[in-house]
Amino acid sequence: MINKVNKTSGGDTACYILELQKISKSFGLVQANKNIDLQIETGTIHGIIGENGAGKSTLMNILYGLHRADSGEMLIDGSKVKIKSSADALSLGIGMVHQHFMLINRFSVLENVMLGSEGGSLLSTGKITTVNKLKELGQTFDMEVDPYALVSDLNVGMRQRVEILKALKGGAKILILDEPTGVLTPQEATQLFGILDKLRANGVTVLLITHKLAEIMAITDNVSIMRGGKMVGHRKTSDTNPQELAELMVGRKVLLNVEKPKAKPKDVALNVKNLGCFSSRGHKVLDDLTFHVKSGEILGIAGVSGNGQTPLMEILAGMRKPDEGYFEILGEKIDPDTRVSPFTMRENSIGHIPEDRHKHGLILGFEAYENMVLGFHHTEMTGDKKLLNKNHMLKHTSDRMDEYDIRPRNPKLLASSFSGGNQQKIVVARELYKNPKLLIVGEPTRGVDVGAIEFIHKQLIELRDQGCAIILVSVELDEILGLSDRILVMNKGQEVSTVNGDEANPKDLGLMMAGISQGVSN
């Protein structure tokens, strides 16, 4: 339930600069925001915290006019407003710095800042005023930029500055920052906080959306916590602490009771040594990663999304090359020079349940039986003749549907017509069929209903007990805790720590995931 803000920091209770009342928004069957209430005091830095998928971004997009709420009211300075587009938001004094920058790389800083507020049909007049304004803002807030630099030449921290300046130039009274430090180095993040401080001193209200507890504690005045599309708490930052916030974020969900017999690990199936890789932009997304997984055990990789888990899984599955280090998988050594493909990985008894089943795991336009052989279409799963054996595939799919209780039991149905849980079951059924010796699993129960979750978890445990080595990547701590025999926490592409499954607890893990602590306390 909602807790009112404990103490107001001066000013009238009735005059919040921004107030949301019972905002709700659904995308199809998914309800992203449920009855959100929020009150923001003028001239504060207000944090909104929650795990990935809690609904924070949706809420902010509603505020900025990129989405329209299904129901609820918004008030600015006490009066009701309707925000139907970004133009409306801008005219109301709301500016936003998005998680994925909305900048034109080919343009200069000046052109980007001018876009939308050029000050006249010819650019020449606006250019001079804008350059001056940029100088002025730069000096006031310690955010100098070269107006003529091309955005593509700027580093990430500078690009973010341009986004902020763009919002401020439009006269924003409320500045929303969506996960601003996700792509910044620690130094750049510190600089950013300095800027936010100055903004607050100048009367700008800041909404800081983040999942990082450290930031909240460092810079905000108040914080609201979201979970599962709902607002679950409001606190004055000085009255709370990271542990309490972590608990609210993660929730006191009942750990799924999976009957988990003790693992009996055998030989090492996967050995990863000093693995490193770079993104296309040149950032290091995996840094000196070393770990191993044995047959008959589940290694859970915990961490907030975007800390290197995706590149790691892609490399292990043969979809991507490592840039540094190497790994040994069931005797095969893969280093930056080896030619890999997911095809050879599958031939070597490696299964891969990808974290994004719509992007990688399934072809939504294909029917269920065609998806059931995806990646295995050169094997006897499609029959042993020259041509595809449709009846064989249909029977195979029917059998799997019975085995995994996939509904509806129609192998000819388009994959897009199945629910999330059943889609995932198709992927699981496919990857597990050949009894892989190593299984790479990402977010196995994302968007999946409770019944299917239980089923999939049981399958994974069974597979483990048959001697499979499993790497499980998940942002759901419950899942990690419930299934893993050992847990490796990742942050910024590196290993923070590895703990035993039965010694770990959510609070410690949360702190490690947030990059606050470096190891298990006590």
Nearer to another protein, 47 or 375 (CB): 375
Nearer to another protein, 129 or 419 (CB): 419
Nearer to another protein, 163 or 287 (CB): 163
Nearer to another protein, 104 or 255 (CB): 104
Return the closest-CA partner of residue 449 out of 233, 221, 256.
Answer: 256
The C-alpha atoms of residue 519 and residue 143 are separated, in whole angstroms, by 36
Nearer to another protein, 202 or 417 (CB): 417
Residue 41: CB partners within 8 Å, gap ≥ 6? 5, 8, 9, 11, 16, 17, 205, 221, 222
Q: How far is the CB of 388 from another protein (least distance, A)?
A: 5
Nearer to another protein, 408 or 519 (CB): 408
Residue 460: CB partners within 8 Å, gap ≥ 6? 298, 439, 441, 444, 470, 472, 483
Q: How far is the CB of 298 from another protein (least distance, A)?
A: 22
Nearer to another protein, 203 or 408 (CB): 408
Q: How far is the CB of 275 from another protein (least distance, A)?
A: 20
Residue 514: CB partners within 8 Å, gap ≥ 6? 211, 212, 213, 214, 242, 246, 304, 491
* 3-class DSSP string for 305-347: CCCCHHHHHHHHCCCCCCCEEEEEECCEEECCCCCCCHHHHHH
Per DSSP (E only), the strands in 220-366 are 222-227, 230-236, 268-278, 284-294, 298-302, 324-329, 332-334, 350-353
Q: Provide the 3-class DSSP secondary structure of residue 235.
A: strand
Q: How far is the CB of 167 from another protein (least distance, A)?
A: 10
Please give the DSSP secondary-structure letter assigned to residue 131: H
Q: How far is the CB of 99 from another protein (least distance, A)?
A: 12
Nearer to another protein, 321 or 407 (CB): 407
Q: How far is the CB of 144 from another protein (least distance, A)?
A: 22
CA distances from 326 to 277, 338, 352 (A): 11, 10, 19
- Are 297 and 331 in contact by the 8 Å Cβ rule? The answer is no
Q: How far is the CB of 427 from another protein (least distance, A)?
A: 10
Q: How far is the CB of 18 from another protein (least distance, A)?
A: 19
Would you tell me which residues interact with another protein (CB under 8 A)?
Answer: 64, 66, 85-91, 96, 98, 102-107, 111, 114-118, 120-124, 126, 166, 317-319, 341-346, 352, 354, 359-366, 370, 374-375, 377-378, 382, 386-388, 390, 407-408, 416-417, 419
The C-alpha atoms of residue 292 and residue 420 are separated, in whole angstroms, by 31
